[in-house]
Structure 1
């Protein structure tokens, strides 16, 4: 079995576009930027064999940690690069912080194989939570975790009202790979357009003032995101 199928299965997740979801998120449907692909050899462990399974986890960046939110802890061999620069618009930047935290929380839960992780439960709600939890479970059931790097970039934020926002961004998984939990063996593959996904998400502000992801619709194999 080729590692290409491993990569397609380990993706952040892609919902089939439905009329209802697209209608809610249409305001955020825009193009993404561009960044060249990096070779698979850049992944830690891809050339030098299985990485150590005893690497200690590292805490998330404090800038992505909302006040009062559960701490996100990522494995030492997993990098989650969220490139959502400050816009100067207070409302949009608050949404971006919530999305940044949600992406890091998801990746930490994905790596741990734990859909009940406090940070994941805190940041994801609505239809998005059970869908993403199912993806986490699928990887865990194969005895795998993730390693390398995932990058999120080219954000466009539309604050629709005081409690609803639409957020479009790109995801680059060309440097991310599944890894066997038992052996630590990395399952590398050749980068392709399938590593690039354009995401439209919906966020809602909770009664406690927390921006949570409630909807997620992705288009895998995005030419725009690959060329950004």
Structure 2
């Protein structure tokens, strides 16, 4: 996929490019927000309200945990809702499981400010990994984490061959907010169409049999995703 230039803030928890396309942004995990948030505060993951700054982490659901993969641990005040229902096609469902794990792994690493987190390193590869790791570091350098909820839904999966797949899905960041690590203060925002992003990602099957996200491009302000 090709990249675009110039940046403002992004969906999927990171920096979004100006214009419709966002390239090499990957779930991923990455959170689209709007309204009163400052330019570096659009994040993925979150729940309405003002959760406690001392909320303890909890492990992710075992149903999203591929065999042999590092455990993903999300903060107690961060909900990642991945609605990718089974398709009945074993190949597509394997790709969906890999994407689900990658999105949760990214959100956990983003919240922790740790681009070296084992689950994140396991699930993200290619050009996507260093890009997303930089976004994670940017948030950490501002002394912020994420809170609330983010939702991923409306998937379309195309298995191109035995080791390559394309995955399109929507992201809803209308309930995702940045939180100051020191004070626990949550910055609210006004929901808008900018909270909805349509993602087009590429995954590759590793030699170890792991579906990893290697490319991603998103369109922020998606009418289709807002209506889905």
TM-score range, shorter chain: 0.7 to 0.9
TM-score, length-scaled by structure 2: 0.82
| 2:152 alignment counterpart | 152
| 2:186 alignment counterpart | 186
Q: Structure 1 pair 203/16, CA: closer, same or farther in 2 (3 Å)?
A: farther
| 1:90 alignment counterpart | 90
Structure 1 runs of 4+ with >3 Å offset:
7-11, 13-19
1:215 corresponds to 2:215: yes
- Report if the CA contact (8 A) 1:15-1:216 is conserved: no
Q: Give the unaligned 5+ runs of structure 1.
A: 1-6, 23-41, 46-50
Q: Secondary structure at 2:56's aligned position in 1?
A: coil
- Report if the CA contact (8 A) 1:80-1:107 is conserved: yes
Q: Structure 1 pair 15/155, CA: closer, same or farther in 2 (3 Å)?
A: farther
| 1:3 alignment counterpart | none
The structure with more helix, counted as a fraction of residues: 1
Partner Cα separation in structure 2 for residue 139 and residue 204 of structure 1: 28
Partner Cα separation in structure 2 for residue 217 and residue 226 of structure 1: 18
Q: Structure 1 pair 157/15, CA: closer, same or farther in 2 (3 Å)?
A: farther
Counterparts of residues 70-219 of structure 1 (less than 5 Å): 70-219=70-219
| 1:12 alignment counterpart | 13
Q: Structure 1 pair 125/188, CA: closer, same or farther in 2 (3 Å)?
A: same
- Structure 1 position 137, deviation (Å): 1.0
- Structure 1 position 8, deviation (Å): 4.2
- Structure 1 position 203, deviation (Å): 0.2
Q: Give the unaligned 5+ runs of structure 2.
A: 1-7, 25-46
1:43 corresponds to 2:48: yes
- Structure 1 position 12, deviation (Å): 2.5
Partner Cα separation in structure 1 for residue 20 and residue 191 of structure 2: 28
- Report if the CA contact (8 A) 1:165-1:204 is conserved: yes
TM-score, length-scaled by structure 1: 0.82
RMSD of aligned residue pairs (Cα, Å): 2.2
- Structure 1 position 55, deviation (Å): 1.2
CA displacement, residues 21-70 of structure 1 (integer Å, 9 cap, x when unaligned): 79xxxxxxxxxxxxxxxxxxx7031xxxxx32221111101111000000
- Report if the CA contact (8 A) 1:153-1:169 is conserved: yes
From the CA coordinates, give the structure whose radius of gyration is larger.
Answer: 1
